[in-house]
Amino acid sequence: MDSNVLFALGLTLFAGLATGIGSALAFFTSRTNTKFLAWALGFSAGVMIYVSMIEIFVKAKDALVAEHGDKTGYWLTVIGFFAGIAVIAIIDKFIPSAGNPHETKTVEEFHKEPERDEYARLKKMGIFTALAIAIHNFPEGIATFASAIQDPSLGIAIAVAVAIHNVPEGIAVAVPLYFATGDRKKAFKWSFLSGLSEPVGALVAWLILMPYLTDTMFGMIFAGVAGIMVFISLDELLPAAQKYDQTHLAIYGVVSGMAVMAISLLLLL
């Protein structure tokens, strides 16, 4: 197996398993650092937005313009970008908010002892949320893998951003299951497994998409990845960050994420 492929698969595994970090945090702390959460979610959004619009979209456009000319190539880039947005929006549409992993919650919300008739509901919610996360993480795995294959530094940036926003998703899976079953191991296992769809998406990209990865296919995938990242940032990360923001920490996080991404790209020139 090519070393670049191994590196890309490793990055997606790292990003996906960050859900396990979230569940561990939930079990070993009784309070959420909302200031840090607001900043971290904003930082993740800043990285995603900057890298999508400044790097990924431009790379997609360059590849498609080289293959199809200025006008057609630009049209295909825009179509791919909004197709990516449409895909992730449709996924969100069919997941009710009660089980949606992007409805970010705090540790405190889960540490309220449930009523007797709530145990079954909590168990169902935890399992459903785990499945929802798996569905959401699958295209993110493809995005991280494709980015890392084309540009390793870009893949690292995306993997870190995805990992940050996977941490609160781990909390959303693990704690309801823990209170429903009283079994920390089972709750952690579901949280851990839900993140594995990220490397599964990468494996699908490698085994199925790689043989057909022409310049046109690459350009369309990258354009779609840019759309997915922008949608996640605007629809999920920034609203979640604002929910816990008190002193503009979310926007400071956004600017910090953009600055770190910009400087890292400049240093790698």
Q: 140 among the known binding-site residues?
A: yes
Closest CA relative to residue 13, chosen from 209, 198, 201: 198
55-77 burial string, b = 16+ CB within 10 Å, else e?
A: bbbebbbebbbebbeeeebeebb
Q: Are 165 and 237 in contact (CB under 8 A)?
A: yes
| DSSP states of 24-78 | HHHHH-SS--HHHHHHHHHHHHHHHHHIIIIIIHHHHHHHHHHHH-HHHHHHHHH
Q: Are 213 and 142 in contact (CB under 8 A)?
A: no
Closest CA relative to residue 216, chosen from 5, 62, 54: 62
Q: 100 among the known binding-site residues?
A: no
Q: 169 among the known binding-site residues?
A: yes
Q: 113 among the known binding-site residues?
A: no
Q: 33 among the known binding-site residues?
A: no
What residues are designated binding site for Fe(2+)? 137, 140, 166, 169, 198
What residues are designated binding site for Zn(2+)? 140, 165, 169
What residues are designated binding site? 137, 140, 165-166, 169, 198
